Copies of this chain bind each other. A is one copy, B any other.
Amino acid sequence: MPLHLALVHYPIVDKTGRTVCTSVTNLDLHDLSRAATTYGADGVWIVHPYEAQKRFLQRVLRHWREGWGAQYNHTRRESLAATRLADDLAGVEEQITATEGRPPVFVGTSARRFGRSVSFGELRTRMEENPEECYCLVFGTGWGLHPETMEEMDLVLEPVYGTGKWNHLSVRAAVAIILDRLRGTERPERC
């Protein structure tokens, strides 16, 4: 079952609720790609509308995929092999559809609860029982995905909670936990 991740930098809300565009974070690129490779995901999409930011990302990707970094650390070359750029989620959908032969089911993520959210168990079961489907988990930077983006999602995943109500995880941590909950192999042994 093909699984992709998308990290959105616009449109994003800031802590006052305003619509903003965030800058790229180098460690997001690495941490998301390393987690995606660990959990067998098929693609990581860095979504940014600005040419200058995409040029920066392309330069970082070239360093680790073809440049000096590829020799220095082969695990970075391997983890970034399936990392791609897109202007917006429509571009992600178009490129995934072209390579996977079907459009992805977009799954929005948020630290806040939405009325129509699916649980981790429900999504994991749906993924396992429908191997012909293709999924794209969508993550926000800043203070999260814009409400209009959430409205456009096919599914919305329940938030990650720890032991209480405080759940201000970094997007790097949230991506790792969500991939482990949806694809991790440790769980079945415990059940």
Residues in chain A within 8 A of chain B (CB atoms): 15, 25, 27, 30-31, 34-35, 37-40, 73, 75, 78-79, 119-121, 124, 160-164, 166-170, 172-177, 179-181, 183-187, 189-191
Contacts and interface: CB of A to CB of B under 8 A. Distances in A.
Nearest to A15: B73
Contact of A166 (B78, B164, B169, B189): B78
A122 to B, nearest CB: 10
Contacts of A160: 38, 180, 186
A168 B38 contact: yes
26 contacts: A25-B27, A27-B170, A34-B170, A34-B173, A35-B169, A35-B173, A38-B160, A38-B162, A38-B163, A38-B166, A38-B167, A38-B168, A39-B163, A78-B166, A79-B168, A119-B186, A119-B189, A120-B190, A161-B186, A162-B179, A162-B184, A162-B185, A172-B172, A174-B176, A177-B184, A180-B180
Contacts of A173: 31, 34-35, 38, 172-173, 175-176
A144 B184 CA distance: 22
Contacts of A161: 38, 185-186
Contacts of A39: 162-163
